[in-house]
Amino acid sequence: MSLLELESITKSFGAIHALSGVDLSIAPGEAVGLMGDNGAGKSTLMKIIAGNFMPTSGEIRIDGQRVEFNKPLDAREAGIEIVYQDLALCDNLTAGANVYLGRELKKKVGPFSMLDYAAMYANAGKLFAGLKSETRPRDLVKQMSGGQRQAVAIARTQLSDPKLVLMDEPTAAISVRQVAEVLALIKRLKETGHAVILVSHRMPDVFEVCDRVAVLRRGTKVADKKITDTSPEEVTGLIIGAIEAA
């Protein structure tokens, strides 16, 4: 059964139709690549799933239940976590502090409640180990590589044990070696039963980790194919419009 289903999602901003009648579904442990040129509607669709926008019309279902996201917190509570493109990390804090930012663990000492560093670092360490990342919880994020920062951002999402992780351009602007690290992280998420939506411009990344690819063009979905049934050439054609639909 599908974990997340979108049915004929439409979003208009005044006279502009950012999305018209988009369907998308994703199963647990599945990774779907969401591709399209700038302005094709990728970010709008992402923001609808993340609860930033309400769709003008259409339905969102999670585990078959209809849901409405009025704000990002609603989406988070429904089991959707987002890894933002700019990663939304605090450089001046440690990796462990970033993982627990906004939901710090506390312990009681007499009448006082204090941050439980030991527990947070230990758990963050376990999350990093679970992602097979070598990131150390006590290191400052400021000193980290792009790949390690991604690991921190992804580890953050694991705290609430989400069903679906939405990733916005996680491999843009990082080195080749770090891309490999991030792709390993995505595979790890799939292995642990998470659904992943990967928004990316990078064809090789989508073909390496995704099971399916959905292509948006001018607000409509023009293709939704298994990775094994398509090719980078076809997807490129679909994105730029050389191929009408597939």
Binding site for other proteins (CB under 8 A): 72-73, 84, 86-93, 97, 101-104, 106, 112-115, 132, 176-177, 180-181, 183-184
Cβ 141 to other proteins, closest distance in Å? 9
* Residue number, 92 or 192, with CB nearest to other proteins: 92
CB of 185 to other proteins, least distance (A): 11
Nearer Cβ to other proteins (9/80): 80
Cβ at position 32, least distance to other proteins in Å: 21
Long-range contacts (CB closer than 8 Å, 24 or more residues apart) made by 220-229:
220/19, 220/20, 220/21, 220/22, 220/41, 221/22, 221/23, 221/24, 222/246, 224/23, 224/24, 227/33
- What's the Cα-to-Cα distance from 30 to each of 2, 193, 224, rounded to whole Å? 10, 8, 14
Shortest Cβ distance from residue 180 to other proteins (Å)?
4
Q: Return the sign of the alpha-carbon dihedral for residues 208, 209, 211, 213.
A: negative
Nearer Cβ to other proteins (126/132):
132
Instruction: Rank residues 11 and 149 by Cβ distance to other proteins and give the closer one.
Output: 149
Helix (H) or strand (E) holding 29: none
